[in-house]
Structure 1
Amino acid sequence: PLKDSKFRISKSRYDSIDSYISNDPNNKPAYNDIPLVYDEDIYKNLSENGIDDLLARHISHLFIRDPLVIFHELLNIDDNESTDHFENLQSTNWQTMRFKPPPSKTSPIGWRVEFRSMEIQLTDFENAAFAIFIVLVTRAVLSFGTNFYIPISKVDENMKVAHHRNAVLNEKFYFRKSIFPQSRPGTPASGTPSGSPRPTPASLPRTAAANASADCSDEYELMTIDEIINGNPSKGFPGMLGLVNNYLNTLNIDIETRCEISKYLELIKKRANGTLMTAASWMRHFIHNHPEYKQDSVVSESINFDMVKTIEKINKGEISAPELLGNFTV
Structure 2
Amino acid sequence: MGLLSQGSPLSWEETKRHADHVRRHGILQFLHIYHAVKDRHKDVLKWGDEVEYMLVSFDHENKKVRLVLSGEEVLETLQEKGERTNPNHPTLWRPEYGSYMIEGTPGQPYGGTMSEFNTVEDNMRKRRKEATSLLGENQALCTITSFPRLGCPGFTLPEFKPSPVEGGASKSLFFPDEAINKHPRFSTLTRNIRHRRGEKVVINVPIFKDKNTPSPFIEAFPEDEEAAKASKPDHIYMDAMGFGMGNCCLQVTFQACSISEARYLYDQLATICPIVMALSAASPFYRGYVSDIDCRWGVISASVDDRTREERGLEPLKNNNYRISKSRYDSIDSYLSECGEKYNDIDLTIDKEIYEQLLQEGIDRLLAQHVAHLFIRDPLTLFEEKIHLDDANESDHFENIQSTNWQTMRFKPPPPNSDIGWRVEFRPMEVQLTDFENSAYVVFVVLLTRVILSYKLDFLIPLSKVDENMKVAQKRDAVLQGMFYFRKDICKGGTTMVDGYSKAQNSTEQAVEEYTLMSIDTIINGKEAVFPGLIPILNSYLENMEVDVDTRCSILNYLKLIKKRASGELMTVARWMREFIANHPDYKQDSVITDEMNYSLILKCNQIANELCECPELLGPALRKVKYSGSKTDSSN
TM-score above 0.5: yes
1:180 shift after superposition = 0.5
1:68 shift after superposition = 2.3
Separation of aligned partners in 1, 2:483 and 2:342: 23
Letter of the structure 2 residue corresponding to residue 142 of structure 1: L
Conserved 8 A contact 1:30-1:216: no
Letter of the structure 1 residue corresponding to residue 498 of structure 2: T
Separation of aligned partners in 2, 1:300 and 1:103: 47
Corresponding position of 1:94: 406
- Point out the more displaced range, 148-157 or 108-117: 108-117
Separation of aligned partners in 2, 1:59 and 1:66: 13
1:260 maps to which of 551, 554, 561: 554
Corresponding position of 1:5: 320
Separation of aligned partners in 2, 1:176 and 1:320: 38
Closer, same or farther: CA 296–67 of 1 in aligned 2, 3 Å: farther
1:303 corresponds to 2:597: yes
Corresponding position of 1:17: 332
1:57 corresponds to 2:369: yes
1:234 shift after superposition = 2.9
Instruction: Please tell me whether Structure 1 or Structure 2 has the larger radius of gyration of its CA atoms.
Output: 2
3-state DSSP class of the match of 2:376? coil
Calculate the aligned-residue CA RMSD, in Å: 1.8
Separation of aligned partners in 1, 2:558 and 2:364: 40
3-state DSSP class of the match of 2:536? helix
1:192 shift after superposition = 2.9
Corresponding position of 2:174: none
Corresponding position of 1:164: 475
Give aligned-pair identity as a percent.
56
1:121 maps to which of 414, 422, 432: 432
Letter of the structure 2 residue corresponding to residue 9 of structure 1: I
2:461 maps to which of 150, 161, 164: 150
Conserved 8 A contact 2:434-2:610: no
Separation of aligned partners in 2, 1:49 and 1:307: 56
How many aligned positions are there?
A: 301
Unaligned residue ranges in structure 2 (runs of 5+): 1-315, 500-507, 626-637
Corresponding position of 2:607: 313
Q: Deviations over 1:273-321 (max 9, x none)?
A: 0000001111111112222222222222222222111111111111111
**Residues 97-108 of structure 1: pairs in structure 2 closer than 5 A:** 97-104=409-416, 106-108=417-419
Separation of aligned partners in 2, 1:76 and 1:289: 59
Corresponding position of 1:41: 353
1:73 shift after superposition = 3.2
Corresponding position of 2:217: none
Separation of aligned partners in 2, 1:141 and 1:82: 33
**Residues 177-216 of structure 1: pairs in structure 2 closer than 5 A:** 177-182=488-493, 187-188=494-495, 190=496, 192=498, 215-216=510-511
3-state DSSP class of the match of 2:484? strand
1:70 corresponds to 2:364: no
Separation of aligned partners in 1, 2:425 and 2:555: 22
Letter of the structure 2 residue corresponding to residue 3 of structure 1: K
More strand by share: 2
**Residues 285-300 of structure 1: pairs in structure 2 closer than 5 A:** 285-300=579-594
Closer, same or farther: CA 295–68 of 1 in aligned 2, 3 Å: farther
3-state DSSP class of the match of 1:139? helix
Separation of aligned partners in 1, 2:542 and 2:440: 16
Conserved 8 A contact 1:228-1:240: yes
1:323 shift after superposition = 0.3
Separation of aligned partners in 1, 2:457 and 2:424: 16
Letter of the structure 1 residue corresponding to residue 547 of structure 2: I
3-state DSSP class of the match of 2:517? strand
Corresponding position of 1:32: 344
Q: Deviations over 1:245-279 (max 9, x none)?
A: 12212211123321121001100000000000001
1:19 shift after superposition = 0.7
- Point out the more displaced range, 143-152 or 62-71: 62-71
Closer, same or farther: CA 306–249 of 1 in aligned 2, 3 Å: same
3-state DSSP class of the match of 1:327? helix
3-state DSSP class of the match of 1:118? strand
Q: Deviations over 1:121-162 (max 9, x none)?
A: 111111000000000000000000010110001000000111
1:64 shift after superposition = 1.0
3-state DSSP class of the match of 1:234? coil
1:191 shift after superposition = 5.4
1:215 shift after superposition = 4.3
Corresponding position of 1:269: 563
Q: Which fold has the larger relative contact order, with Cα–Cα distance below 8 Å and residues 6 or more apart in sequence?
A: 2
More helix by share: 1
Separation of aligned partners in 1, 2:435 and 2:608: 10
